Amino acid sequence: MSHLALSATATLPHFNRTVKRLNKVFPIFTGRYAFKSSLYGNFQRKGFSICASANTGMSGDVAEVSEREQDLKHYIWPDKKRPRVCILGGGFGGLYTALRLESLTWPDGKKPQVLLIDQSDRFVFKPMLYELLSGEVDEWEIAPRFSDLLASTEVQFIQDKVKLLHPYDMPRSGAERHQCAGSVQLESDFLIEYDWLVLALGAEPKLDMVPGAVEYALPFSNFEDACKVNNKLKALERKYFGKGCPIKVVIVGCGYSGVELAATVSERLKDKGIVQAINVQNTICPSAPPGNREAALKVLSERNVELLLGYFVNSIKRSADIEVLNQFVDSGNIGMQQEAKELVVEIQPAERGMQGQNLEADLVLWTVGNKPRLPQSDPSGKPNMLPLNGIGQAETDETLRVKGNPRIFAVGDSSALRDSSGKLLPPTAQVAFQQADFAGWNIWAAINDRPLLPFRFQNLGEMMNLGRYDAAVTPSFIDGLTLEGPVGHAARKLAYLIRLPTDQHKVKVGLSWFAKEAIDSVATLQTTLTKVLSGSS
């Protein structure tokens, strides 16, 4: 757990002078003034102030505290001499970098202290969030808590949001390795000094592209989003139970996420719902291998998903705010009880020759557009020390170090790295997973004065979830091969089982999935035997 230094704000300078004197006699004095972060809330409630201690570098020297930092609470690293690695973000890039650093062999005294910071208390295996909607997996399987994953490691974890970055100007001389490389300020006003920083904050949905999207559309990007969508579907299923009125779901975007959502939701609702998917392009998943795209089109057609291709969303409004609402009542259902839907999605054609439409919806799911979650740099008047591209990603060299900042690495959606053709690497879990391996190794190499390795992305193929027993898998090492249906589904789950973060978690999840498959097989066999026996009698 994190450690805090306890002192009174008004007596900070006197306290620092006292610490300096005591350090000369008792070098371990400050280490014994460390408190577990679980006590932080108690100190706040009782009127105590957790405030800044003096800046310390790897050498343990004490520097003066700036005015800006006097009101902040410093994180106290357990060891003054070992390197300090701060990782921002606990997704594929951040967590797997931490685990990579933990797994490497380090010389005596060189193994770094690793601190992982994330705004959630859970690691989320995002490619399998769809299985949460279908009921195929449990929460703990794809969203385990960091405290459980890191229990057998030395990696420390803090749940908090990042507010500001304070990268310091590093000297050109050999004294660089003995000085703090910068600090990170959290929303809770913690100030964490680091020797090495990893930016792995990922991205968040960009909903402000269309009027009404922020207010009325639900994104599907993280664990909390998946829970909200699942709860909304449950509420709609209860609301319309036995009424004969279909649940209408509109999905904005037909990339991988949109198509996987459409397949999963349509399978869940069956004939109780209508799913419409909108895409500005005239095809779904334009960057996907042809085999995956064809398999997806087949499944969506079988489940009567209506694809509105070549349209963009103009606005999302509440039906109560619209004076004239188009009614989509089929002539054969005139006698059926109809209920006004809560939302209306106005779509316009991207090309001439088609008419705009108003789509009624009980639920609008948003899968278009993301923005990196990189925090602001020090607002003290200095120019932004992190070179960012047009969409807010940090520009890195081929070793994943941020340009101009040799002590800062960026991976995943936080990184703007281009392949040999000059094209930005895609913001996928596969890229982040591979970058984490290189980032961990390159931090090891930098600490041990070894050459850093250039990152080379290896595309292993693409996978797509299409329902409880459907998937499409196109491996890159076999041209033209696409595994579909139950075979693709099994291959996809096996591939993701192997990619789960720790061996302990892999074993627990593997046993859980095996038990579920066994139960499903027995239930299917019983159903088949019952039908056979009833037919023979």
Q: Compute the distance between CA of residue 178 and CA of residue 176 in angstroms, rounded to an integer.
A: 5
- Work out the average pLDDT over 420-447: 93
Q: What angle do CA 56, 61, 66 make, to 5 degrees?
A: 50
Are residues 241 and 401 in contact, defined by beta-carbon separation less than 8 angstroms?
Answer: no
Are residues 391 and 71 in contact, defined by beta-carbon separation less than 8 angstroms?
Answer: no
Residue 377: predicted pLDDT? 64
Task: Express each pLDDT in 212-224 by its tens digit.
Answer: 999 999 999 999 9
User: Over the chain, what is the mean pLDDT?
Assistant: 83
Q: Which tokens sit at 396?
A: 């890195």
Q: Tokens 């010389």 correspond to what residue?
A: 107
Say yes or no to pLDDT of 44 above 70.
no
Task: Express each pLDDT in 468-486 by its tens digit.
Answer: 999 999 999 888 899 999 9
Are residues 69 and 188 in contact, defined by beta-carbon separation less than 8 angstroms?
Answer: no
Are residues 444 and 106 in contact, defined by beta-carbon separation less than 8 angstroms?
Answer: yes
Say yes or no to pLDDT of 62 above 80.
no
Residue 90: predicted pLDDT? 96
Are residues 369 and 217 in contact, defined by beta-carbon separation less than 8 angstroms?
Answer: no
At 69, the pLDDT band (50, 70, 90 cuts) reads low
Task: Express each pLDDT in 263-285 by its tens digit.
Answer: 999 999 999 999 999 999 999 99
- Work out the average pLDDT over 42-57: 33
Residue 501: predicted pLDDT? 95
Residue 36: predicted pLDDT? 35
Residue 49: predicted pLDDT? 28
| DSSP code string of 14-80 | HHHHHHHHHHHH-TTTGGGGEEEGGGHHHHHHTT--------B-TT--B-PPPTTTTTSEEB--S-S
527 to each of 267, 530, 533, how far by Cα in Å?
20, 5, 10
Closest residue by Cα to residue 210 from 369, 391, 371: 369
131 to each of 127, 135, 334, 471, how far by Cα in Å?
9, 6, 36, 11
CA atoms 423, 424, 430, 431: torsion sign: positive
Residue 432: predicted pLDDT? 96
Name the β-bridge partners of 73: 190
- Work out the average pLDDT over 40-55: 32
Say yes or no to pLDDT of 16 above 70.
no
Q: Compute the distance between CA of residue 258 and CA of residue 217 in angstroms, rounded to an integer.
A: 13
Residue 266: predicted pLDDT? 97
Are residues 255 and 369 in contact, defined by beta-carbon separation less than 8 angstroms?
Answer: no
Task: Express each pLDDT in 287-338 by its tens digit.
Answer: 899 999 999 999 999 999 999 999 999 999 998 876 444 444 443 343 334 5
Are residues 412 and 372 in contact, defined by beta-carbon separation less than 8 angstroms?
Answer: no
Helix/strand/coil for 504: helix
Residue 171: predicted pLDDT? 56
Q: Compute the distance between CA of residue 363 and CA of residue 358 in angstroms, rounded to an integer.
A: 14
Write the CB contacts of 231 (distance below 8 Å, at least 6 apart in sequence): none
Residue 330: DSSP 8-state: -
